[in-house]
Chains A and B, each alone.
Chain A
Amino acid sequence: MSADKLIHTKKYEKVAAQVRRHLITYVPTLAFFFLLLLVPVGLHFLIKNIYPSLLVSPISYPLLVLLASIYYLSVMLFFYTSFVEFYLDLHILTNDRLVDINQITLFARKIAEVDLYQVQDVSSEVKGVFATLFKYGNVEIQTAGTVPKFIMENVPNPHQLRRLILDLTAEDKKHHRNGG
């Protein structure tokens, strides 16, 4: 499904940008999962040194293999689920509105949208060593809509995005003033 179909764009509406969090912000989670993968390896060496009979017993050995398999598959499942929750946080900017899709958990999603002519103020911030090096940061949008503030967290090139939002907002406000 394309972004146009996802947000049911109107006839005159064009998608200007689809923004997700910068991939570099997922690296700490990746590192944590790699550490989790090493836990059974460590336990194997521990059992080998303390209870080596457990690794050769015809009862305990298959049970340990099944347990380790369940553990690794669980880690893979949690890793993939966390990636889906990370990657499905999406901001779609069109020439008419901003749609904010927030995947809270696997079975919980929040979608908020605001028409661009209701945008009052846009600010962008890049804070920290990694954020400066990899050019990501937050964009904060103040609106006159139901949701007073949108925050786009850890998005790539936030200053460029801020300018794009302001340009599109100015165009949309001109369009509404002209009664289009």
Chain B
Amino acid sequence: MLKGKFRFLLFPVIVIICILIIWLQPLRFGLDIRGGARIVIEAQDTEERKVDMLTMETLYRVIQKRLNPQGDLELIVQRKGMKQMIVEVPESQDVEGILKMISKQAVLKFVEAVAPPKPLDEMSEEEKKILLGGEGRIATYTTFDDEGVTKNTYTLFLKDVVLTGEDLKDVYLGHQEGMPVIGLKFTADGTKKFAEATERNIGNPIAIILDGKIISAPTVRSAILNGQAIIEGNFTQKELTELIIQLRSGSLPVPIEIVENKIVGPLLGQDSIQKGKFAGMLGLIGVTLFMFIFYRAAGVSAVVSLIMYLFIYLAIICLGKTTLTLSGVAGIVLSLGIAVDANIIIFEWLREELHMGKDVAFSVGDSFKRAFWTIFDSNLTTILAAGVLFFIGTGSVKGFAMTLCLGIMVSMFTALVLNRYILEGYVEMFKGKKFLV
């Protein structure tokens, strides 16, 4: 390794590399620090579909597309366990808006229908059954006028599903006679199905059903061959835009339930982080003083390796694009304490060896060797505990465990390797044990 003064060049180099990394890939702070909306949803089993891996993947994609259609927002969507998903939107307080956007399943179906040939109560059960066909049901459909007053209520016999949301190629906002409508364009396959269906049903309505409710039931006048359709209904502009996003993103594969929702006001977080930074600084100063008083030159070496530890640690966190939460920060501060412990263990050995009158250079090397197993055993036990926290815990607990484990591992490197580097350099430069411990 580098000898003499040159070994001390290693440190600024490491620091500069770390600073570069932190600058290029800045630290990402979690919701509890920045503030924002956090929602936990749970996918629900239905008769038609049980929640599985594919369901969750589809859910993940659909939610991403709904909340972040342009892909430019900082959205965090994560799987949690088998059926749950965490959705976090930093710096947004519009939990209601988000909930509305993602909780609507938006299952779209086009169903062939017929108006009842004679009043319902004059029809026998037999006649009704024949008309309905396989999976049909009778449903009502209400139209409203501009003021929201009921205009007309129709009863329809719903027969077979001819198209679904899967057959859509595009959904857009259109205008017809000055009214906003939803424009639909079907895929090639969908166009074909639609052409066939409209040809078959001239004079009959086709019911457009959203999440089980009929929103429109236009009568087919002629076969539609171009694969385009319009949904008009009594929607406000806002409802239309929402619906378009929801249809575009695809329907949710299963309904979802809101398990948890939380708004974290940034006021709270900012406060804590300022204080946390301050406390961290003070802690560092306190420890530095202590180390210097008790371990003198070696103590200074310990503090230098501690500072290196901080830089390297932060750089690794930035590289890993980890989101830092409040408990994550707590894990960091704690691992600082453990880092210092490793140094103390080494220095106490060093003191003993020097006390016994052994050669300085030898003592330095030897004390590191003897301390290694103590440090290893004690740190590994803490890592075991943190490991359990990491694998079983969720959210904050997991974040804490991760920063703690990482911190302990990095601290072992800085305490055993970098520290030794400095001390050996010191002994070489000052040729002896002056002021060492």
Q: Do A and B come from one complex?
A: no
By a beta-carbon cutoff of 8 Å, the part of chain A in contact with chain B is: none
